[in-house]
Amino acid sequence: MLAYVFSHWRQPEVTPSDYEERQRAFHAALARAPASGCVRSFSVALSGAPWSAAGADSYEDWYLIEDYAALGVLEHAAVSAARTEPHAAAAAVAAGGAAGIYGLRVGALHETPRFALWFRKPSGMPYDELFRRLTPRLEANGASLWMRKLTLGPALEFCIHANEQLSLPEPFAGLSLPLRQIWPVPSEAGER
């Protein structure tokens, strides 16, 4: 499982509610007519990620895809057919963005995670040791671990998604960010 992760932020004159509504309309159009190899998408609001809007309020769209071939299909599908207008409306109010590719390494997919914990591999630590040390903690907490692929993207190398805030054992150091669900639309029953 791969994820195309798009970090983006709104133009200052655009209200958060207008920006978020345009994002929802695009994700809804994509969900109604999904591209081959595209599993689903979710969008969250966050603040404090230095690689996105210099740490100011921003958004992350996670497009879950089966493989690299699906990335090309998604690229074309996002701007064609019934998705053309919603994509154009969303893009028209974005002030900027950056993207990366991540692969799922540990755990299961979350519908929409409530927390992201971004971190780098400690210097000198082999990847096998990193996975050996973190896997039991992640599995016990129902968390998922994503790893950047081909060094594509400005964010840190690893992202943990969880529904509860997690901490990392020494010598790991991370940036924990609460996430607010934008898409899928939170239910009226009091979800975030």
| Phi–psi pair at 16, nearest 5 degrees | -55, -40
In a domain, 162, yes or no: yes
- The answer to whether 8 and 20 have CB atoms below 8 angstroms apart is no
Measured distance CA(85)–CA(78) in Å, rounded? 10
Least Cα distance to 178 among 189, 164, 157, 158 occurs for: 164
Going across the sheet that includes 2-10, the strands are: 174-178, 115-119, 158-162, 144-148, 94-106, 2-10, 58-65, 38-46, 180-183
Q: What is the CATH number of the domain that holds 143?
A: 3.30.70.100
pLDDT tens per residue across span 88-135: 999 999 999 999 999 999 998 888 899 999 999 999 999 999 999 999
Residue 64's domain spans which residues? Answer: 2-183
Q: Can you give the pLDDT at residue 188?
A: 47
The total of structural domains in the chain comes to 1
pLDDT tens per residue across span 125-138: 999 999 999 999 99
pLDDT tens per residue across span 25-63: 999 999 999 889 999 999 999 999 999 999 999 999 999
In a domain, 192, yes or no: no
CA 183 to each of CA 42, 59, 113, 118: distance values in angstroms, whole numbers, following the listed order: 5, 11, 11, 21
In a domain, 189, yes or no: no
Least Cα distance to 19 among 55, 61, 49 occurs for: 61
pLDDT at 189 over 50: no
Measured distance CA(13)–CA(2) in Å, rounded? 34
- The pTM score is 0.94
In a domain, 8, yes or no: yes
In a domain, 191, yes or no: no
In a domain, 190, yes or no: no
